[in-house]
Structure 1
Amino acid sequence: MVWLEIVGWAGSLLVIVSLTQARVLRFRVLNLAGAVIATAYNAIVGIWPFAVMNGVIAVIDVYWLFRLHRERHDAQVYGVLEVPADDSVLRHLLDTHAPDIARFHPAFAAGSSDPAGSAAFVVVRGDELVGAVVVRSAGDGVGRVDLDYVTPRYRDFTPGEFVYRDSGVFAAHGFRRLVVDSPSPESRAYLERVGFRSTADGWEREVLAAA
């Protein structure tokens, strides 16, 4: 039947497309969809070795999707390290992803941030760098967030939240308020999740005094 062949090809296409994805969550979702379709197709036409193989792949994808969602807000999985603004590890991250950073943070990529007056943090997952936050002092207790960047692999998650969770790290630098100027529309939901609110002067977040 023609429709069955179309379904089979659709499953194969989804698996192929999934392998082109840099984002780990998107990869798993597309791979799962393709594996489920391929399992059903091969079972219907009686190609059992491929049906079993794709069925096992689907189970593996479900396991990883469950684990990724369970760990996305887990401070035992993600860690935050404060580093000097001119730290070599931070610089490596910025240099490696320079074109991507220029796309989302053109002012920062252009070198408008003053490293000497900035607080910098890198977010890690195990031994992997997954993001960075750089906050520059704007005076009078105001910290301007010049960079809040996540690598493409983890962009479906919000690892920057682990930096904002501990307000003490900002209070230690004398910040009483954090400000984000003109965030992109797609980043506004994220800013709300990490405690920022839209005001007449931009997006702001109060910093609690260190305990």
Structure 2
Amino acid sequence: MDLLADHWLEALGWSGSALLVFSLMQQRVLRFRVLNLSAGLALLIFNALIQVWPMVGLNAATSAINIWFLVRLLGQRHDDHAFEVIEVGAADTYLQHVLRTHKSDIVRFQPDFDCRPDPAQDHVFLILRGDETVGVVVVRRVGVVAHVRLDYVTRRYRDFTPGEFVWRRSDVLCALGFRQVRTAPQTLGAYYDHLGFRREGDVHVLDLDPAECAERSAS
């Protein structure tokens, strides 16, 4: 029985250590915190069972830090003040840099997007968190309809939905005269279902209410 308990204890220690290493390989900020917290809690239990108290203190401290960051991150997930939407020109130099830097990742998710927005037809929005660019949205104007050409989030923030600040939390589209948003079939996902979009065949559609936009703008 003691031998079996020793095996389980050793497995817990190795599992916690492996999970800790794996967490350090994550680029997504939210996923990193969740995995690092899980590893810290496993190692806290392991070190408490073998009575290595300095390591218990260390794991307790790192777990508390991860919990603090997770509460903060989750609280900012849909916070209007956490992300900012800025419209830029389709030929903007910084935009071109962002698209070049993330081109391979963009093409992996939206192979139909050529990373060359059309200055005559496209509107481009950068989503920022502080001074960090976390997303790019490109829509093409067809009358009063905004057709989504790109809705991209950088890897670090892929567990968040910063694009929602263009669709639901910002009045920028209404101010430009758009009254409807339509996604491309290649951008389908549950993400849109939670933002008021409705399905029409193989696309998602969002109707923009000018009154609601004006109310958000005034608030």
- TM-score, normalisation: structure 2: 0.89
**1:147-206, CA deviations, whole angstroms, 9 ceiling, x for partnerless residues?**
11000000000011111125632233332211112145xx52111122221013621111
CA contact (8 A) 1:167 1:207 kept: no
2:218 equivalent to 1:180: no
CA contact (8 A) 2:197 2:205 kept: yes
2:198 equivalent to 1:197: yes
Letter in 1 for 2:98: L
User: Which secondary structure state, in structure 2, belongs to the residue aligned with residue 29 of structure 1?
Assistant: helix
CA contact (8 A) 1:119 1:173 kept: no
Alignment of 1:6-17 (within 5 A): 6-17=11-22
**Structure 1, unpaired ranges of 5+:** none
Counterpart of 1:104 in structure 2 is 109
2:123 equivalent to 1:124: no
Greater Cα shift, 53-62 or 162-171:
162-171
Greater Cα shift, 172-181 or 124-133:
172-181
Alignment of 1:44-83 (within 5 A): 44-83=49-88
2:136 equivalent to 1:135: no
Runs ≥4 in structure 1, deviation > 3 angstroms? Answer: none
User: Which secondary structure state, in structure 2, belongs to the residue aligned with residue 107 of structure 1?
Assistant: coil
2:118 equivalent to 1:114: yes
CA contact (8 A) 1:144 1:180 kept: yes
Counterpart of 1:148 in structure 2 is 151
Letter in 2 for 1:68: L
* Pick aligned residue for 1:168 from 168, 171, 177: 171
- TM-score, normalisation: structure 1: 0.92
Letter in 2 for 1:149: Y
Residue 128 to residue 65, structure 1, CA distance change in 2 (3 Å): same
Alignment of 1:28-43 (within 5 A): 28-43=33-48
